[in-house]
Amino acid sequence: MFFFYLLSGLFLGWSLGANDTGNIFGAAVETRMLKFKKAALIAAIFITLGAVFEGSGPSGTLGKLGSVDALGGAFTVALAAAIAITLIVRIGIPVSTSQTIVGAIIGWNVFSGRLTDYRSIITIASSWVMAFVLSAIIAAVLFYLAKPWVNRSKSHLLVQDLFIRNALIVVGAFGAYSLGANNIANVVGVFVPVSPFTDIHIWGPFVLTGVQQLYLLGALSIVVGIYTYSHKVMRTVGKDLFHLSPITALIALMAEAIVLFLFASRGLYNLLLSLGLPTIPLVPVSSTQVIVGAVIGIGLAKGGKNIRYNILGKISLAWIAAPILAFLISFTMLFIMQNVFEQKVREKTQYIFDRITVTKIINDGYDPAALSSVNGRSFTTERDIYHELTEFRDLSRDDISQIIEIAEIYPMLVDTASLTKSGMYRRFSPEQLSVLRRYDGQEFRHKWQLKALLTTHKEFEYYPKPENELQKNQNRVLDEQLNQLYRSFRIEKE
């Protein structure tokens, strides 16, 4: 059954390969600096390397995807996103895969009565504008910087050509590597906790872990997508929107790499943090919007006369249409999966307002009177709690989310062996693992109970009231680790 469910992840991988590779190599291929076959080969190699060796764990978009708690649900959400992407890629328009996936996840949230975090929707919506505008500005600046170099260059046309060609390959390979590293989690990350793959000892210290094997499979599906379908999107990015020359193609690609690095590099974030400098927020930006922004930036820097605004309009429309389409497909398919095929698309979650949870809520500083309508009751959907709590009291959505989190019953059994088996242990320090081992066999009913216990140890340091960015970052990292633990330790009970 696992492999059947995995198919939708692989389909999503295929659509990602078809869509996102165009963002990286579209300009290079359409300016004929790189042959499609060569570009596809470079993309295939570096995406696979990035996915297998630096594939990030469930984070960012996947963090939200991870909230899809049943395998049947994850299958449907991935399938819905893949269908939406494929439909739009068919007309040759690049879409944002991450945003389409989020659209499908919101479909799941609505279907299963979960509260959708409005802030993440706002973040996504603002990243559409921000990534686009910023990359346009950076591309325009790079264009003005490159202009004197190109116009007054004393190097031979052929040497310039060689330089640009190699730069396109290097920057493209780097882009492909990051694409593999960042997006593989979107493709198969959700299957990590249930993967049947075990570590393969290749030679000496070289081990291909179960997670890496899964990521390799995902990477191969991306590669198939590149070879079979990415050519059309490449044309839209590299030719239809604005005629790029090799040098402007390089500028666009460099602007894309810079923007993606600025917004996605945790390393840079930590560096700025440690230097006490203001940080750039880690926002999930879309490579599609960044490259289109860069192309438009160059077009405007060249006077803006040759930009095909009708194509830009189509692309922008697709950016809005893709998540909405994914949402609708996801919602409809979840309904069919659950009611026609009788598949479990969500775990039955219970929320209880008993003595323990209510005390915790009050201790966290909430007004006991606010809980009068829910006290002593249990619920099966977040939406019902939300309605109860908002009917009489003016609680913010964030407050309600916090209360719901406390009330959620999430049975867990600490089992460090399961972390080793799934390869998840790599995400924890040896000190953290030894703390966890102390609680092996202990059961918890609520997530916050495990959190409260672990954060008493310095290995799981948490700042309830963070005072600076450094502490906020520490909290964020710990929350990600805790989410891993919750999923890994979950047991069926009650």
Partner 1 sequence: MPLLLKTTRFIESQIDTFLDIVSDSATTFQLAIEDYLHGRIPEFEDRLSQIREHEHRADDLRVSIERFLYERTLIPENRGDVLAILENTDEVIDNIKDSLLQFSIEMPEIPIVLNELWMQTTKASVAAVEQLVFAVRSFFRDLGAVNNYIHKVYFFEREADQIGERLRRKIFATEIELSRKSQLRFFAIHIERVSDAAQNVCDRLSIYTIKRQL
Decide: is 29 part of the binding site for partner 1 (CB under 8 A): no
Decide: is 168 part of the binding site for partner 1 (CB under 8 A): no
Decide: is 306 part of the binding site for partner 1 (CB under 8 A): no
Q: Which residues pair with 486 in a beta bridge?
A: none
> With respect to partner 1, which residue has the nearer C-beta, 32 or 119?
32
Decide: is 248 part of the binding site for partner 1 (CB under 8 A): yes
Decide: is 320 part of the binding site for partner 1 (CB under 8 A): no
> With respect to partner 1, which residue has the nearer C-beta, 166 or 380?
166
> With respect to partner 1, which residue has the nearer C-beta, 12 or 136?
136
For the bound state, the minimum distance from the C-beta of residue 147 to partner 1, rounded and expressed in Å, comes to: 4
> With respect to partner 1, which residue has the nearer C-beta, 32 or 348?
32
Nearest to 47 by CA among 217, 195, 206, 189: 217
Nearest to 17 by CA among 36, 1, 35, 40: 40
Q: Are strands 408-409 and 378-379 parallel, antiparallel or unpaired?
A: unpaired
Instruction: Mark 179-218 with x for binding to partner 1 (rule: CB under 8 A) and - for no binding.
Output: ----------------------------------------
**What does the block give as tokens for 45?**
């190699």
Decide: is 477 part of the binding site for partner 1 (CB under 8 A): no
Decide: is 238 part of the binding site for partner 1 (CB under 8 A): no
Stretch of 66-74, 77-85, 161-169, 199-207 lying at the interface with partner 1 (CB under 8 A): 161-169
Decide: is 35 part of the binding site for partner 1 (CB under 8 A): yes
**What does the block give as tokens for 313?**
């309009």
Other Cβ atoms closer than 10 A to 329? 23
Q: Is the dihedral of CA 249, 254, 257, 260 positive or negative?
A: negative
> With respect to partner 1, which residue has the nearer C-beta, 31 or 61?
31
**Selected binder of partner 1 within 59, 67, 245, 378 (CB under 8 A):** 245
Instruction: Mark 120-159 with x for binding to partner 1 (rule: CB under 8 A) and - for no binding.
Output: -----------------------x--xx--xxxxxxxxxx
Q: Tokens 């109860």, residue?
A: 388
- Identify residues 339-368 at the interface with partner 1 (CB under 8 A): none
> With respect to partner 1, which residue has the nearer C-beta, 179 or 296?
296
**Selected binder of partner 1 within 10, 33, 42, 326 (CB under 8 A):** 33
> With respect to partner 1, which residue has the nearer C-beta, 160 or 402?
160
> With respect to partner 1, which residue has the nearer C-beta, 246 or 323?
246
Decide: is 246 part of the binding site for partner 1 (CB under 8 A): yes
For the bound state, the minimum distance from the C-beta of residue 158 to partner 1, rounded and expressed in Å, comes to: 5
- Non-local (6+) Cβ contacts of 245 within 8 A are 31
Decide: is 161 part of the binding site for partner 1 (CB under 8 A): yes
Q: C-alpha distances in angstroms, 68 versus 409, 415, 459?
A: 16, 22, 29
The burial class, CB within 10 Å (0-12 / 13-18 / 19+), for 339 is: exposed
As a 3-state breakdown, the chain gives helix, strand, coil percent values, each rounded to 5, of: 70, 5, 25
Q: C-alpha distances in angstroms, 135 versus 239, 276, 280, 293, 381?
A: 18, 26, 15, 5, 41
**What does the block give as tokens for 490?**
């979950």
Q: C-alpha distances in angstroms, 485 versus 211, 347, 453?
A: 16, 17, 13
For binding to partner 1 (CB under 8 A), which residues are involved?
Answer: 31-33, 35, 143, 146-147, 150-159, 161-162, 166, 245-248, 302
